[in-house]
């Protein structure tokens, strides 16, 4: 157990505690793919925190009659009770038990809603776990008011990571790094940190339009996905490549070299999918429309010289990344050329945001 993240208060427990928080999703530029116990990444990852795609969560803790009883957890998604979410939260609560000992005293009701549709193919685990972690550290603040905001946010990232690795990167805004990197002081496998090196202003309000190619549930769960890297023939080379890509990406972020930034970001996305295509078992998570869109992006970039590139998560959706000053042109391109490849012509405009908030 890590002393830094234990909860030291011995306060008298209030009968009822309510907290509320919101946290955005994030999009990785250098991907986290592969982990060991417990939620320790095999390589460093780096992401943009988003703004519009977010989860808002309301946590209510009510004192149990007997502390020895199993904690009752009820989860409501958009006001509808959703028992299928309970096992994941139960597992999360067990995992953080040593760091949040107050949870044992209470039954929990969690009311959560996402700004993006549940069936959009956008994973809600990053924003969802980050919002819940922010609610939990706010409980601590109410029990121990002298805790500093910076320590609360660090602990929130630490807790969120135990719920879902990428959620650790959804607490703070801007460009966020998670995972120990040999050349970056302050980097950690246990929690994410904003990158402290120089960032060209062009990246401060970068745009991300999520093209919803396939709104279905994920074909490969994240736990299965990460486990595919165990014993993968190219695993070690991939982990080393990610570490180098972090170093390279930092230099492009500092200089504003968009050509190299785009090359690296697209290469990361394709490498993630390449890893899946040669895993055992193997998967193809890109859909035919994903490929159509990628080729259209490349032609558009060649013809117009507008610096727009793509990245992918572990699914078919395409994230279109571009500087804010090209918003008008890129939105027109989406309307005329890309939205026809999206399921129900659906897409979501988003941009780099400021991170989670206590409400
Ligand atoms: C492809 O964070 O969803 O989006 O830790 O098992 O919850 P768990 O995995 P998760 O994995 C995200 C993988 C990714 C790349 C990334 O976000 O870095």
Six token digits for residue 182: 């040999």
Find, among 311, 231, 310, 319, the residue nearest to 275 by Cα. 231
Q: Is ligand 1 within 6 A of the CB of residue 222?
A: yes
CATH number of the domain where residue 241 is located? 3.30.70.890
Count of the separate structural domains present in the chain: 2
Nearest ligand 1 atom, CA 30: 18
Cα end-to-end span (Å), the chain: 30
Residues 328, 285 share a domain:
yes
Nearest ligand 1 atom, CA 226: 6
Q: Is ligand 1 within 6 A of the CB of residue 262?
A: no
CATH number of the domain where residue 118 is located? 3.30.230.10
d(CA 255, ligand 1 centre) in Å: 28
pLDDT of the residue at 3: 82
Q: Is ligand 1 within 6 A of the CB of residue 28?
A: yes
165-168: Cβ within 8 A, 24+ apart: 165/32, 165/35, 165/39, 165/41, 165/222, 165/226, 166/26, 166/28, 166/32, 166/45, 166/47, 166/123, 166/125, 166/126, 167/23, 167/125, 167/126, 167/127, 167/128, 167/129, 167/130, 167/133, 168/130, 168/192
Boundary of a domain, candidates 141, 174, 197: 197
Centre a 10 Å sphere on the Cβ of residue 280 and count the other Cβ atoms it contains.
8
Nearest ligand 1 atom, CA 123: 3
d(CA 165, ligand 1 centre) in Å: 6
Residues 137, 259 share a domain:
no
Residue 358, in any domain of the structure:
no
Nearest ligand 1 atom, CA 165: 5
The C-alpha atoms of residue 127 and residue 139 are separated, in whole angstroms, by 19
Q: Is ligand 1 within 6 A of the CB of residue 32?
A: yes
Nearest ligand 1 atom, CA 32: 18
Domain limits at 69? 3-197
pLDDT of the residue at 12: 76
d(CA 276, ligand 1 centre) in Å: 13
d(CA 56, ligand 1 centre) in Å: 20
Residue 182, in any domain of the structure:
yes
DSSP single-letter state for residue 278: T
Which parts of the chain sit beneath pLDDT 50? none
Numbers of helices and strands, H then E, in the chain: 8, 14
């Amino acid at each position: 157990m890590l002393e830094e993240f234990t909860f030291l208060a011995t306060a008298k427990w209030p009968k009822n505690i309510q907290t509320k928080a919101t946290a955005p999703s994030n999009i990785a530029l250098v991907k986290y793919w592969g982990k060991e116990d417990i939620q320790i990444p095999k390589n460093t990852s780096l992401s943009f925190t988003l703004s519009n795609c977010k989860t808002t969560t309301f946590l209510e803790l009510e004192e149990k009659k007997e502390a020895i009883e199993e904690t009752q957890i009820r989860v409501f998604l958009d006001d509808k009770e959703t028992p299928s979410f309970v096992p994941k939260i139960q597992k999360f609560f067990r995992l953080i038990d040593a760091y949040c000992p107050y949870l044992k005293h209470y039954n929990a009701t969690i009311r959560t809603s996402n700004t993006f549709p549940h069936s959009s193919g956008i994973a809600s685990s990053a924003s969802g776990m980050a919002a819940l972690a922010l609610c939990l550290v706010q409980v601590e603040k109410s029990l121990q008011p002298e805790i500093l905001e910076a320590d609360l946010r660090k602990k929130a990232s630490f807790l969120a990571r135990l719920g879902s690795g990428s959620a650790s990167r959804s607490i703070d805004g801007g460009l966020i790094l998670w995972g120990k990197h040999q050349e970056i002081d302050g980097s950690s496998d246990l929690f994410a940190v904003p990158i402290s090196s120089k960032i060209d202003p062009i990246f401060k309000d970068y745009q991300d339009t999520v093209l919803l190619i396939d709104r279905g549930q994920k074909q490969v769960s994240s736990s299965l996905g990460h486990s595919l890297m165990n014993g993968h023939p190219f695993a070690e080379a991939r982990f080393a490549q990610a570490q180098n890509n972090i170093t390279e990406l930092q230099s492009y972020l500092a200089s504003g070299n968009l050509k190299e930034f785009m090359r690296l970001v697209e290469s990361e996305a394709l490498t993630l999918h390449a890893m899946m295509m040669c895993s055992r078992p193997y998967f193809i998570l890109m859909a035919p429309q994903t490929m159509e869109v990628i080729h259209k992006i490349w032609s558009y970039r060649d013809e117009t010289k507008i610096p727009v590139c793509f990245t992918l998560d572990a699914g078919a959706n395409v994230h279109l990344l571009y500087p804010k000053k090209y918003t008008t042109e890129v939105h027109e391109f989406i309307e005329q050329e890309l939205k026809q490849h999206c399921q129900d012509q659906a897409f979501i405009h988003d941009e780099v945001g400021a991170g989670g908030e206590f409400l």
